[in-house]
A = this chain, B = another copy of it.
């Protein structure tokens, strides 16, 4: 528990009860989760609070925001020492159309992309859709 507090403090986020709980929840999830997921888990808490909690996490580089193409924003904790930097920290996301889960393939960094002249890249989003290993083996 104390560890959780440390994580938040390290990123200059005040460790409120709500934030600790949401952080814990995210830690337990292997796949990326949506605001609705969090909302369904913390029924007693308000949607807005959860929304802002996630927003705070993203702004303080504790979590990253994932657009997996489903139209619903997903969130996942950053890896240790992640600064959400292009070329080094950004990885591939995989969305399974069967189980509907979006997972972070953190080992799969985004390949180097050459852009036409005068284009400046600031962020890259790479999402692969298909069938994940779990669903494939069933």
Contact = CB atoms under 8 A, between A and B. Distances in A.
Contact of A119 (B71, B117, B130): B130
A43 interface: no
A125 B110 CA distance: 12
Interface string A14-34: 000000000000000000000
Interface in A48-107: 67, 69, 71, 92, 94, 97, 105, 107
A123 interface: yes
A7 interface: no
A129 interface: yes
Interface in A106-136: 107-108, 111, 113-133, 136
Contacts of A121: 128-130
A137 interface: yes
